[in-house]
Amino acid sequence: MHNAQSRRGAHQEKQRDKRRLKEAKSFGEFGERWFQEARMADSTKAMRRAIFERDILPKFRSRLLTEITPDDLRAMCAKVKERGAPATAVHVRDIVKLIFGFAILHGEKVANPAEEVGPASIATFVPKDRSLSPSEIRDMLGQLEHVPTLPTIRLGMKLILITMVRKSELQDAVWDEVDFENAVWSIPKERMKRSKAHNVYLPQQAIDIMIALKTCAGNSRYLLPSRYDADAPMSRATFNRITTAVVVRAKKEGLPLESFTVHDLRRTGSTLLNELGFNSDWIEKCLAHEDGRSSRGIYNKAEYEHQRRHMMQEWANLIDAWAGGRKYSPTLYPPSMDLLTPEPNV
């Protein structure tokens, strides 16, 4: 009797296992669900989707989650790294981690293989939160004058540092967006990462750079036209090449300038302005960080034009002072600002 019961129990357990296997979802299916439900910027989604389809799915598409081991993931990342794409290899690991995390959140009892594969074991990069110090800004601007490139590209690098715009926002900028008279560059929503139009208030130094660029651009509609075609924007790779050249030259000169990316110039502005004590709401507005990036962003509709114009001018003055090895004490508030009166457009 007892034997029959235990046999029946074992049989039921077996059936349950079979059923579980049948209902188990593959990595590919969870991946698709994750792409549908996860919130991320369109550009990030497009990049991750490309990596998912090209590098991850061919191997993992029909595998059950329980069948994917840390060693499988390591081997996949190693293969991508071998073709000279270490950054993509790190993204492969991150995407697998996120998809497993999503599955676990939805009740799957499975270990996340990516937890055992540290990104540093795949490739090491300059940390993401790199920002340059005032002395590094001085070295960077000094070396920028000596690397072989067009004068307009040097001006473009300075403009990114001064205005804190994203690289793509400058690369595709057209003259119709620039209002010299009111010293404002209005980037339409189609060109913004968060699909919301953005005003960049231009300090005098940025206006001077734009006048120089306009003089060089001839009849092109682009601030920085392609070297070979006035009707096309500049090459996507140029700024990245220049940052590398600047660091290589600095090293030869014995200067302590570590590697940095173009995006780090934008982060540098944010970090140093915060450290100097400028209002973080104004800084967030200058960076076009909205739509939930911070809890304040959800209801903070103020444009802070007056304050931002003042802060951007102080920032440009600071950069000039650092570049020239001079001291400069910024004023944190516009002289005409009444600190007790709220903004009219709050």
Q: Could you tell me the domains of the chain? A: 24-122 (1.10.150.130), 134-323 (1.10.443.10)
Alpha-carbon torsion (180, 182, 188, 193), positive or negative = positive
**DSSP conformational letter for 222:** B
Question: In the Cβ-directed half-sphere of 254, how many Cα atoms lie within 13 Å?
Answer: 0
Give the three-state DSSP class for 278. coil
Give the span between the Cα atoms of 328 and 326, in whole angstroms.
7
pLDDT value at residue 160? 94
Q: How far is the C-alpha of 227 from the C-alpha of 218, rounded, in Å?
A: 12
Distances (CA, A) of 60 to 63, 68, 70, 77, 235: 5, 8, 13, 13, 35
Judged against a pLDDT cut of 80, whether residue 295 lies above it is answered with no
CA angle (233 as vertex; 149, 205 as ends), nearest 5: 60
Amino acid 301: pLDDT? 57
Q: How far apart are CA 55 and CA 64, in angstroms?
A: 17
The Cα 197–Cα 308 span in angstroms is 16
Confidence of residue 300 (pLDDT cuts 50, 70, 90): low
Name residues whose C-beta falls within 8 Å of residue 258's C-beta, 6 or more positions apart in sequence.
126, 130, 136, 247
* Predicted local confidence at residue 83, as pLDDT: 80
pLDDT at 291: 46
Q: Shortest CA distance to 281 belongs to which of 266, 310, 302?
A: 302
**Cα 23 from Cα 7, distance rounded (Å):** 24
Confidence (pLDDT) at 256: 87
What distances in angstroms separate CA 317 from CA 230, 323, 326, 329, one per listed residue?
32, 10, 11, 9
For 227-284, the pLDDT digits (tens) are 888 788 888 888 888 988 999 999 898 988 888 888 899 889 989 999 989 888 899 8
Provide the token pair at 136.
């590094």
First to last CA, the chain: 79
Alpha helix stretches (DSSP H) within 83-203: 86-105, 119-122, 134-144, 151-163, 167-171
- Give me the mean pLDDT over the 183-197 stretch: 84
Cα–Cα distances in angstroms (integers) from residue 27 to residues 59, 63, 96, 107, in the given order: 10, 6, 9, 14
Average pLDDT along the chain: 84
Report the SS3 class of residue 241: helix
Higher-confidence residue: 129 or 117? 117
- Is the pLDDT at 30 greater than 90? The verdict is yes
* pLDDT at residue 85, rounded to an integer: 81
Q: What is the predicted pLDDT for the residue at 298?
A: 43
The pTM of the whole model exceeds 0.75: no
